[in-house]
């Protein structure tokens, strides 16, 4: 199954990038590699019910069950014990990545109140983009009645771009709504 974003990339975006940056080889053209979703649990790590709710929410949002990240060692100052769940992560590739990106661009981001675009300063100098979402209610799968606490998540869009400019043009051509 091919999403609209993947066909748009194959038909239009590749040609525009090749013309703009004068690539001699088609393998130099930047492309999407993966999207990672991360959520830290914070003080909710000890509560098993909130952990289970968080796992269900990320499963609904991403279409894939998250992996639980655990503490490697105990830290008394943070009241943290070794092997305690401290976060969740999901890595999306191929079809699920494109489906999530399409949902993010066309449905979730426009649901943010007073949304005027995402900031183009969040590139990491290697062409990858990082985005923080403050509440999970912007996704259509999550209903207000089903959540016990509003939580955010971090989204990292990893590309093969070598510079921020290449990554910016790639994401802009795909349809990311950047501020101007």
The two beta strands, 153-159 and 32-40, are: antiparallel
145 found inside a domain: yes
31 found inside a domain: yes
73 found inside a domain: no
131 found inside a domain: yes
Q: Rounded distance, CA 123 to CA 158, Å?
A: 10
Q: Rounded distance, CA 88 to CA 122, Å?
A: 22
- Cα→Cα distances 115→47, 107, 172, Å: 33, 12, 17
156 found inside a domain: yes
Q: Supply 19's token pair.
A: 């013309």
CATH number of the domain bearing residue 140: 3.30.1440.10
Q: What is the pTM of this model?
A: 0.83
pLDDT for the residue numbered 83: 66
pLDDT for the residue numbered 35: 92
pLDDT for the residue numbered 3: 76
161 found inside a domain: yes
Q: How would you write the pLDDT of the chain (180 residues) with one tens digit per residue? A: 567 888 888 888 888 888 888 888 888 888 889 999 988 877 666 677 777 788 888 888 888 898 887 776 666 666 666 767 778 889 998 888 998 888 888 888 877 878 888 888 888 888 889 988 887 777 878 777 777 777 788 899 999 988 888 888 888 888 888 877
In which domain, by residue range, is 155 found? 4-39+90-174
Element (H, E) at 97: helix 94-103
146 found inside a domain: yes
83 found inside a domain: no
How many separate domains does the chain show?
A: 1
Q: Rounded distance, CA 175 to CA 180, Å?
A: 14
């Amino acid at each position: 199954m091919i999403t609209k974003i993947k066909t748009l990339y194959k038909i239009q975006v590749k040609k525009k990038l090749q013309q703009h940056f004068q690539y001699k080889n088609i393998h130099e053209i930047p492309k999407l590699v993966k999207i990672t979703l991360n959520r830290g649990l914070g003080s909710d790590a000890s509560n098993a019910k909130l952990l289970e709710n968080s796992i269900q929410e990320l499963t609904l949002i991403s279409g894939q069950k998250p992996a639980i990240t655990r503490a490697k060692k105990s830290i008394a100052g943070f009241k943290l014990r070794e092997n305690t769940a401290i976060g969740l992560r999901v890595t999306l590739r191929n079809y699920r990545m494109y489906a999530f990106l399409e949902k993010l661009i066309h449905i979730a981001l426009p649901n943010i109140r007073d949304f005027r675009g995402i900031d183009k300063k969040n590139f990491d100098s290697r062409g990858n983009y990082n985005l923080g979402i403050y509440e999970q209610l912007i996704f259509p799968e999550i209903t207000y009645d089903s959540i016990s606490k509003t939580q955010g998540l971090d989204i990292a869009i990893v590309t093969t771009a070598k510079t921020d400019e290449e990554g910016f043009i790639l994401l802009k051509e795909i349809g990311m709504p950047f501020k101007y």
